[in-house]
Amino acid sequence: MTQDSFTPGVVAGRLDDAAYETQFADLHPPLANHEALVAADRCYFCHDAPCITACPTDIDIPLFIRQIATGTPDAAAKTILSQNIMGGMCARVCPTETLCEQACVREAAEGKPVLIGQLQRFATDHLQSKGVHPFERAASTGKTIAVVGAGPAGLSCAHRLAMLGHDVVVHDGHPKSGGLNEYGIATYKTTGGYAQAEVDWLCQIGGITIKHGQSLGADLPLTGLQADYDAVFLGIGLGGVNALGLENADKTGVLDAVDFISDLRQAPNAIDVPIGRDVVVIGGGMTAVDAAVQAKLLGALNVTLAYRRGRDRMNASVFEQDLATSKGVRIMTHAVPITVHGNGAVREIEFEYVGDDMQGTGQTVRLAADQVLVAIGQTLQADAGPDLDGKKIAVTESGQTSLTGVWAGGDCASGGDDLTVTAVAEGRDAAMDIHATLMGDV
């Protein structure tokens, strides 16, 4: 599925420069110092804090908020980063409304949680703006580990291993590091080139070498990595996308939503990205919402997000759904695509309404569409080597795969949610297990 710049109705520059700047401004502007102090003062500093349990990386949230409240934001940042080295990015993209903030006692009592995510960003930004790296490497162990994938899981694993004294070589197929943080997250969530700035800051620990243009496969076989390194960590994500599976889905204007988001993320200016007048997004997850919202921000007149089940079954959080509707996106539920209409280029897409049991009702609707963005899930791009659990790499709780000396984590591995914060936790935990194994502690 490719984008043709000559597709009728799909054009760049629907808005003026000033409008693009406003549309793609930071979704949650950073807190000023006094705002952070006021927000921190709302925390009860619970002894048995439910927010810690709700955080996949187990950050001591009451402690870092207390440190902000007492005027030591850099200490707060170190508390965060000791558990989540990508705490700055997670503060921007983590669905806090369904994790730590949903568990907040203030949320239960008042329906208004402590602004944990924004306070986390305040602390990490404060430290990182100084160019300071708060951790030092341990003495060299003489061990070298290969990490495949420079996304959240791979970078988290690499940093922890480097901090423990190992040398790490990260292999990644893209021209830039960051994985989904760089290529797959809505532009308005990570503005100002933050993804690359965070990677550069993270690598200040030393001992990490990143090699781009190297993907697992014929040119980078897993057997070769096993032979050349003391251990291997796979953080390869999900490079494949599920096809729409319709007979006419190869028409011009039918695109993978992940490619659409990536193109926008890498564009020098949003004004250069072509967008349709009538855009239909198929899917119900975060990628679908990100694509739909950004289509609207780019100037599409009509944007419809179509999902096969009810809104309560969407993987996107209620906050994300509400964000979409607030930007003018129409959410159409219980609708399954059945065919794409058009002569060469898409003109309409037809849906059948289904019941809760996913059985067709016989009722159909045709939506005008000069651009269709498909976001119905991703899969492993190829056989990675280790045994699979369903469609993902089977791993133990500590990230070990079926192959000796090979660990995996992040979206490619079984067992966790496909979230940046979960990937960071899995990369960190795998690094600790790799270290223990190599140093004879297991």
**What pLDDT does residue 5 have?**
42
**What pLDDT does residue 6 have?**
52
Alpha carbon separation from 118 to 110, 150, 334 (Å, rounded): 19, 25, 35
Q: How far apart are CA 295 and CA 273, in angstroms?
A: 10
Domain 33-128 in this protein, CATH class: mainly alpha
**What pLDDT does residue 442 have?**
54
Strand 240-241, strand 378-379: pairing:
antiparallel
Let me know the angle formed at the C-alpha of 313 by 312 and 315, rounded to the nearest 5 degrees.
110
Name the nearest CA neighbour of 159 among 440, 427, 439.
Answer: 427
Q: How far apart are CA 420 and CA 89, in angstroms?
A: 8
Residue 392 half-sphere exposure, CB side, CA atoms within 13 Å?
22
The architecture of the domain spanning 144-239+380-438 is 3-Layer(bba) Sandwich (3.50)
3-state secondary structure of 392: strand
**What pLDDT does residue 149 have?**
97
Q: How many CB atoms lie within 10 A of CB 218?
A: 7
DSSP state of 30: P
Stated pTM of the model: 0.94
DSSP state of 298: T
DSSP state of 143: -
Q: How far apart are CA 436 and CA 50, in angstroms?
A: 30
Residue spans in the chain of domains classed CATH 3.50.50.60 = 17-25+241-378, 144-239+380-438
Tokens 């940093």 belong to 159
| Enclosing H/E stretch for 393 | strand 392-393
Residue spans in the chain of domains classed CATH 1.10.1060.10 = 33-128
3-state secondary structure of 99: coil
Helices 194-202 and 116-128 meet at what angle, rounded to 10?
60
Q: Along the 442 residues of the chain, how does pLDDT read in single tens digits?
A: 444 445 678 999 999 989 998 999 999 999 999 999 999 999 999 989 999 999 999 999 999 999 999 999 999 999 999 999 999 999 999 999 999 999 999 999 999 999 999 999 999 999 999 998 999 999 999 999 999 999 999 999 999 999 999 999 999 999 999 999 999 999 999 998 999 999 999 999 999 999 999 999 878 999 999 999 999 999 999 988 888 989 889 999 999 999 999 999 999 999 999 999 999 999 999 999 999 999 999 999 999 999 999 999 999 999 999 999 999 999 999 999 999 999 999 999 999 999 999 999 999 999 999 999 999 998 887 777 899 998 899 999 999 999 999 999 999 999 878 899 999 999 999 999 999 999 997 5
17-25+241-378: in CATH 3.40.309.10: no
